Amino acid sequence: MRALSRRGFLAGGVAAAGALAVGCGGRFAGDVDTFTAAFQGSGAGEGIDPGVNTLFIDEARMKAVYDGLFEIDGAMRPIPRLAASGEPNADGTRWRIVLRDARWHDGKKVTSRDVLYTLSRVLGPPQRRPFIAAATLDQVDLSQSRAVDDLTVEIALRTPGFEFLQALSAYGTKIVQDGATDFSRPVGTGPFVFESFDAGREFSATAYDHYWDGAPSVRRLRIVSAEPDARLAAVQSGQIDFADNLTPSAARTLQGRQGVSLESTPNSGIYFFAMKTDRPPFDNPDVRRAVMRMVDRAELVKVALEGQGDVGNDVFGKGYQYYADLPQHDYNPDEAGRLLRKAGVRDLSFDLFTAPVAHGFVEAARLFAEQAARCGVRVNVVLGSKDSYYTDALNTGPLTMGQSGPLSIPSHFASRLLTGSPQNRTKWSDPEFDALYAKAQATPTETGRAAVYRMMHEILYDRGGFVFFGNTHWNSATGAKFRDTPAAVPNSHDWARFDKVVAG
């Protein structure tokens, strides 16, 4: 089922079903009966399994239903959630995690067995669709991990891992109930109890009054899939209460508009090209180096992203812990040509696979094709289905596009760049890089780890498969009648959390 278009969103029953009713049956003056939030959808590609689904709209649903042991704050550092604490032993090979006193939505107590089951599910036999955190957590030794008691679990690692709390806060690590196999009607520990889910359309959940972090003030939460123009029109008219990831032009439309509060958070959306390093022509590092010099990042930000953002530099995580500030990669056709001659490549031509899944994707692809043409390279822009693009792009074509929210740099390396990582969009496999990652995990001091991560960044900056060309703002809008709405960088704990929203 496709994500709703502007016409379908405004004319269909979704808006009517979610009509706002504040103060009509809420328990307290600030309670909100129903709060409706709209996110970019992806049709049948959406899901609600916390182990495998990765879209922004998926994560918004996961936050409502589940908790992780740890989650990432706005600085991309882990903070305790279901875990009250986590401490390593002297050599970083064992971590003792103490759980909070929390309960599942069915009333059962959260125990160490749930943690061990979640780990075993992620690290178990290979699945048709890989678990996101399989590479992130692959150093866990389940055979040596144990439940010390109901609220204390000891997790053993095969090698020292002083960044293990980062791993426990990454995508795909939210805790599921011991024995859970059916995620069509999930039972979680989060602030909202699952009610219904229709992929590409709507998710609904009700307040969990026994939530360990306090009963939600929103009594019923609806998360709907909607295209960008539909999100803009619906938040303007009051048919929805929150619109995520608005385009720069939509943000300009809402600026200063009465009845709507606009938030614009910098360093939030990261746009990239991904060269698959396991196939021609990008199996040649000099060709990858050449592409880095034939991308005019400033022009892409100005035109395709409408000027709302900062130029990227092929290094992930600007502004966050462990970011490596390296000399800017500039548009340089002469250097691109020299590198292609060095690679022995003439009349270079390749496909760029993209789809209109995010603002500016198609525009950026076509503009890059023009930039490459000025370097004597032909880029054929191939459009895929927006409903299945992110799944298709993992294996389709030599060059694709993507958009990422902020992520801790260790998690970015583990989930996307280690050999065998499930989200390895560049098919990167480099023994030196893998060894440096292991070295960083075994380094007990933050300063020491930063030095190793810089070396890893320098490898990618020189010959990696990613071209991070723009760091964009993240625009969201909320009805002005609400307070304490989430305005934070995506993927951080505070982003897309609606349990603390109040009326007034």
For 278-334, the pLDDT digits (tens) are 999 999 999 999 999 999 999 999 999 889 889 999 999 988 889 999 999 999 999
Residue 153 and residue 294 in one domain = no
Would you state the pLDDT for residue 170?
87
Q: Is the pLDDT of residue 442 over 90?
A: yes
Q: Is residue 13 part of a domain?
A: no
Residue 356 and residue 464 in one domain = yes
CATH number, domain of 438, equals 3.10.105.10
Residue 157 and residue 286 in one domain = no
Q: What is the mean pLDDT of residues 60-76?
A: 93
Tens digit of pLDDT for each residue in 21-55? 333 334 565 799 999 999 998 888 899 999 998 88
Q: Tokens 């002297």 map to which residue?
A: 90
Q: Which two tokens stand for residue 395?
A: 């294996």
Residue 73 belongs to what domain range? 68-116+130-171
Q: Is residue 144 part of a domain?
A: yes
Q: Is residue 6 part of a domain?
A: no
**What average pLDDT does the structure give for the chain?**
91
Tens digit of pLDDT for each residue in 457-504? 999 999 999 999 999 888 999 999 999 988 788 889 999 999 999 997
Residue 417 and residue 298 in one domain = yes
Q: Is the pLDDT of residue 372 over 60?
A: yes
Q: Is the pLDDT of residue 220 over 60?
A: yes
Tens digit of pLDDT for each residue in 107-150? 999 999 999 999 999 998 766 667 888 878 989 999 999 999 99
Would you state the pLDDT for residue 127?
62
Q: Is the pLDDT of residue 12 over 80?
A: no
Q: Is the pLDDT of residue 78 over 50?
A: yes
CB 270 within 8 A of CB 312: yes
Q: Is residue 467 part of a domain?
A: yes
- DSSP string for residues in 389-400: HHHHTTTSSSEE
Q: Is residue 433 part of a domain?
A: yes
Q: Is residue 388 part of a domain?
A: yes
CATH number, domain of 74, equals 3.90.76.10
Tens digit of pLDDT for each residue in 417-436? 999 887 899 999 999 999 99
CA distance 171 to 130: 13
Would you state the pLDDT for residue 44?
83
Crossing angle for the helix pair 409-416 and 431-441, nearest 10 degrees? 140
List of E strands, 40-151: 70-72, 78-80, 83-88, 94-99, 146-149
Q: Which helix (H) or strand (E) holds 281?
A: none
Would you state the pLDDT for residue 27?
57
Tens digit of pLDDT for each residue in 246-268? 988 899 999 888 899 999 888 88
Q: Is residue 331 part of a domain?
A: yes
Q: Is residue 29 part of a domain?
A: no
Residue 151 and residue 296 in one domain = no
**The total number of structural domains that make up the chain:** 2
CA distance 341 to 338: 5
Would you state the pLDDT for residue 1?
33
Residue 332 and residue 467 in one domain = yes
Q: What is the mean pLDDT of residues 150-154?
A: 98
Would you state the pLDDT for residue 194?
98
CB 162 within 8 A of CB 449: yes
Burial 429-447, CB ≥16 within 10 A → b, else e: ebeebbebbebbbbbeeee
Cβ contacts of 361-370, under 8 Å, gap ≥ 24: 361/401, 361/403, 363/303, 363/304, 364/271, 364/300, 364/304, 364/305, 364/401, 364/469, 365/401, 367/299, 367/300, 367/303, 367/304, 368/273, 368/295, 368/300
Q: Percentage of residues in the chain with pLDDT exceeding 90?
A: 75
Q: What is the mean pLDDT of residues 396-409?
A: 91
Tens digit of pLDDT for each residue in 332-367? 999 999 999 999 999 999 999 999 988 899 999 999
Residue 163 and residue 274 in one domain = no
- DSSP code, position 459: H
Q: Is the pLDDT of residue 17 over 60?
A: no
